[in-house]
Amino acid sequence: MITTRESINYQFSIIFGYSSPNKEDLIVGDIIGPGSLKKAIIKDLSVDVIKYLTQYNAMLRDYTGSELFFVEFELKNYNLKEAQTKIFPKSMILVPGNYKECESLMLALKPDIGYINVHKSNKAINHISKLFFEVEDYANHPELNESQKEAVYRRFASRFTKKLYGQLIENKWTKELIGLSDLVPTEKKFLKKYCKLKSNIELLWHKKPIEINLSHIKFEKLKNPFEGKTATEHLKFSISEPSANFVIEKTLKLGSNLLNLANTGTMDYFQNKLIKYIIKNIEIDLIQILEPKSENWLISRINNLLLQVKNNTEQFLDLCNDFLISGEKGSLKQILEAFNKLINEKGALKNREFSELFEISSKFISQMIVSREEIRSNELKSIFNYFSELINNTINILNTYLESYLVNRQLKNITNILIQNLKEDFNNEPKPAKILGNKIIDEFHEHILRIIETFSLSNSINNFFNKEIFLKVFKDLVFKDFNDFFNRIDLSTKDIVSFAEINLDKESINIKYIIENFKKFTDELHFLLSYILRYSTINRYLKDIPDTEISDPVLFSTKFHRFLEKRLSGINLIWKSYILEWIKDYTKIFLKLDVKKQWTLIEIYNDFINYLEERELESQSPEKFTDFLDAFIAKEKNEEIKNNLIRFFQQYESFLGIKTEFPKYIKNKIEDKINNFTIALQNQVPLEYLKNNGNKTFYNYIRENELKYFSKLIPIPSSLILKHNLTNEESELFKGDLFQVFNIKYWGDGFIMINLADNFKEVYREWIKEL
């Protein structure tokens, strides 16, 4: 980044993509952004964005009965120091469009958040879809061959991308002023909130793309905003709380993947070339030194090499200035030939080789020159000045990131040694303890890597590579949030089942397969509950069964049991029959009651769902698993298997204590290991420092953290709008489109809150149901 103007340009980026079912391989698009990309990469990015949207919409149809209408992500910068000194976009939006069966989309980054009229932007994308459909129809002309058709598609993709980009930067889709707002169905005053979720959020910024995970989700029951038959009908089109949570999880992943794609387009081609050129020259020097050296030696050596590079480039720029006053004129090709001749001749006199710098600068000139017919050499002055600043900026980047890279590298190497030592300590443990111990150690490893990533980018420590200093810094980092990490560890039923399996004798081999099934118990039941509560299951049942046939919980659960039994027949899960047993148990509760109560469908639904959620929550508890085991063993008719299961049950009960004791044991073991951990800084052959860091070389480190401008941004969804896919019959019940609106608040400190609302009351034709 050379100028403030360039930095401002990074505030706006746009990716446009179009796909058509009329031709399987017809996916075309374009990118407008600060970087420069080849045509093949642009097509690959368009394909990837459309692929992500297609997968996301498939999930939405299953879990919510809708598709994406609009989503906006707030872009947070985890490097606070950099956020204060550089200009970054504040938000990223994804707007899909369609016409007939063709689909298009716009992914854009912009400098503000929350000011888009989503319906205007959607209308604009739909219009572009219609225009591209007409282009596709024209391109099917028999006189055009495949390459000509491809050229037509690319040309119009570029044209339509520019049109959308112009509308974006000219604020064509910005919301009107207060008091003049358009009457759009997703405005707050037209929405009724019916669901609320709270969750912890964990940001794994050391991973590429960044991973964002939710945990400790809490559903808050809200008072039903509807009454009577309206409430009943709304229930059929609402999204359950677990499904809403799943949608947010997938939206977080979508945002991370999309920003990673957008980031590909931010690399400056020429700065990237210069970085590679300088690192290559550094490596040529270092490859001759085979004696192991320290990091401090390397830093000093590379700083001297960078001074030599700076001196060399200054001599090249002096020749550029000589060319400015040479009086040469002609076409671009002739000018570049004359420039090359001067560089070769005068470079030889100075005993310098400038061929690579000339190659980079000539391509730079070719890109910057507008008129190619008649050029005078002195017209290149501003271009050479710019190129000079680009070189200086590149050298500064290498200076800035060298120590950061070496600190990152050393901390990760030490971490790997510590983790390896910890795992070796567990090699002699019983198999379940070893497996579980390694699992916790791996999680602890990820925890440390996350801390290292931000530390190495935002801190500068004098004499870091002094043994006492770096070891102290390392231990301080490892112990950061140490207690919180272990307090979050929660052993599962599967973990304790694995421990209980240890002490079974060889005669218990006949229950091995049963124990393996026990390990799948909690995961399968969690999946089955989410399967029941997704739109394609529970909402379909509510729509298919007439309201008059569901007057009490017994009828509701009995009919749902039959409905679900058919749907589960095609699912290959061990415990699917168990969740059907839950439904039977629910029915039995009301068969035993003498008091008859008048139930509404809302009351039945809420009571039924609450019951299933409570049963599923109990099934996740290792303590409650003993109740299941007791009932399971009682049903076993084979005496030999039954006796072995009883022994397993006894073992399971005896190991329940490890739920709290094992994490403490691991914590103490790791704490002792760290306190006694010592390591000497190992000198290495200089070139190895730049190459040997897993897959992250010095060049890769700079590319990911500097050349890719959006690398430190984290996309947190702020607004998600879904549009219902209504059948023809359902459309008769509505006077407009039905929207589901997720309003998401990120409160920092790892906490997020989601409110879910819809415009059902505004668009539902209640009187039609009365006919």
Both structure tokens of 71: 């989503």
pLDDT at 504: 78
Whether 629 and 541 map to the same domain: the answer is yes
Give buried/exposed letters for 40-76 (b at 16+ CB in 10 A, else e): eebbbbbbbbbebbeebbebbeebbbbbbbbbbbbbb
Whether 581 and 643 map to the same domain: the answer is yes
* Assigned domain for 308 exists: yes
Whether 372 and 507 map to the same domain: the answer is no
Phi/psi for 524 (5° steps) reads -65, -40
Distance CA 273, CA 390 (A): 11
* Assigned domain for 645 exists: yes
Distance CA 616, CA 525 (A): 7
pLDDT at 26: 82
443-444-447 Cα angle (round to 5):
90
Dihedral over alpha carbons 732, 737, 740, 743 (to 10 degrees): -160
Whether 174 and 258 map to the same domain: the answer is yes
* Assigned domain for 699 exists: yes
* 106, containing H or E segment: strand 102-110
User: Does the structure show a pLDDT above 80 at 269?
Assistant: yes
Task: Fill in the amino acid letter for 424.
Answer: E
Both structure tokens of 296: 């401090």
Residues in the chain, overall count? 771
7: confidence class by pLDDT, cuts 50, 70, 90: low
pLDDT at 569: 87
38: confidence class by pLDDT, cuts 50, 70, 90: low
End-to-end CA distance of the chain: 66
Q: What is the mean pLDDT of residues 239-258?
A: 94
Both structure tokens of 95: 């707007």
Query: Which of 410, 482, 476, 366 minimizes the C-alpha distance to 680?
Result: 410
Phi/psi for 97 (5° steps) reads -140, 165
Residue 255 has, within 13 A of its CA and on its CB side, a CA count of: 29
* 426, containing H or E segment: none
> Tell me: the pLDDT tens digits for 637-665?
999 999 999 999 999 998 898 888 999 99
Handedness of CA 202, 205, 206, 208 (dihedral sign): positive
Higher pLDDT, 43 or 35: 43
458: confidence class by pLDDT, cuts 50, 70, 90: confident
pLDDT at 550: 86
User: Does the structure show a pLDDT above 80 at 95?
Assistant: yes
Name the H helices within 676-712. Answer: 686-691, 698-702
Contact 28, 240 (CB under 8 A): no
* 55 CB-near residues (< 8 Å, 6+ apart): none
Last residue of a domain, one of 345, 376, 398: 398
Higher pLDDT, 453 or 276: 276
The residues that bridge with 67 in the sheet, in sequence order, are: 723
Distance CA 553, CA 604 (A): 6
User: Does the structure show a pLDDT above 60 at 155?
Assistant: yes
Dihedral over alpha carbons 695, 698, 699, 701 (to 10 degrees): 70
The residues that bridge with 31 in the sheet, in sequence order, are: 15
Domain containing residue 376: 269-398
Whether 469 and 597 map to the same domain: the answer is no
> Before 89, cis peptide (omega within 30)?
no
Measured over all CA atoms, what is the biggest interatomic distance in the chain, rounded to whole angstroms? 108
* 77, containing H or E segment: strand 66-77
Cβ atoms within 10 Å, residue 489: 17
Task: Please state the pTM of the whole predicted model.
Answer: 0.90
- Worst-scoring range by mean pLDDT, 234-243, 348-357, 539-548? 348-357
Both structure tokens of 154: 């690319």
Whether 155 and 284 map to the same domain: the answer is no
* 287 CB-near residues (< 8 Å, 6+ apart): 687
Last residue of a domain, one of 624, 641, 658: 658
Whether 84 and 231 map to the same domain: the answer is yes
Phi/psi for 158 (5° steps) reads -65, -40
* Assigned domain for 709 exists: no
Cβ atoms within 10 Å, residue 597: 9
* Assigned domain for 30 exists: yes
Of all residues in the chain, the percent with pLDDT exceeding 90 is: 56
* 414 CB-near residues (< 8 Å, 6+ apart): 470, 474, 679
User: Does the structure show a pLDDT above 60 at 2?
Assistant: no
- Do β-strands 739-746 and 66-77 pair in parallel, antiparallel, or remain unpaired? unpaired
Whether 315 and 200 map to the same domain: the answer is no
- Worst-scoring range by mean pLDDT, 45-54, 202-211, 309-318, 638-647? 202-211
- Worst-scoring range by mean pLDDT, 5-9, 59-63, 280-284, 721-725? 5-9
Mean pLDDT of all residues belonging to the chain: 88
Phi/psi for 13 (5° steps) reads -140, 150
Query: Which of 11, 573, 500 minimizes the C-alpha distance to 508?
Result: 500
Number of domains in the chain: 4
Task: Fill in the amino acid letter for 699.
Answer: Y
Q: What is the mean pLDDT of residues 726-734?
A: 91
Higher pLDDT, 24 or 112: 112
Q: What is the mean pLDDT of residues 212-229?
A: 85
Contact 63, 250 (CB under 8 A): no
Handedness of CA 321, 322, 327, 333 (dihedral sign): negative
Of all residues in the chain, the percent with pLDDT exceeding 70 is: 94
Whether 153 and 248 map to the same domain: the answer is yes
Which of 84-88, 218-222, 281-285, 352-356 is predicted most confidently?
Answer: 281-285
> Tell me: the pLDDT tens digits for 565-612?
999 988 899 999 999 999 999 999 988 776 678 888 999 999 999 999
Q: Is 538 exposed, middle or buried (0-12, 13-18, 19+ CB in 10 A)?
A: buried
Q: What is the mean pLDDT of residues 740-757?
A: 90
Distance CA 215, CA 643 (A): 39
Distance CA 384, CA 389 (A): 9
733 vs 134, 412, 507, 761, CA distance in Å? Answer: 33, 60, 64, 12
Q: What is the mean pLDDT of residues 614-628?
A: 92
Last residue of a domain, one of 343, 368, 398: 398
Whether 380 and 423 map to the same domain: the answer is no
* Assigned domain for 319 exists: yes
- Do β-strands 27-32 and 13-19 pair in parallel, antiparallel, or remain unpaired? antiparallel
Query: Which of 163, 53, 178, 160 minimizes the C-alpha distance to 115?
Result: 178
Contact 674, 419 (CB under 8 A): no
* Assigned domain for 710 exists: no
Whether 84 and 43 map to the same domain: the answer is yes
180: confidence class by pLDDT, cuts 50, 70, 90: very low
Whether 482 and 571 map to the same domain: the answer is no
* Assigned domain for 761 exists: yes
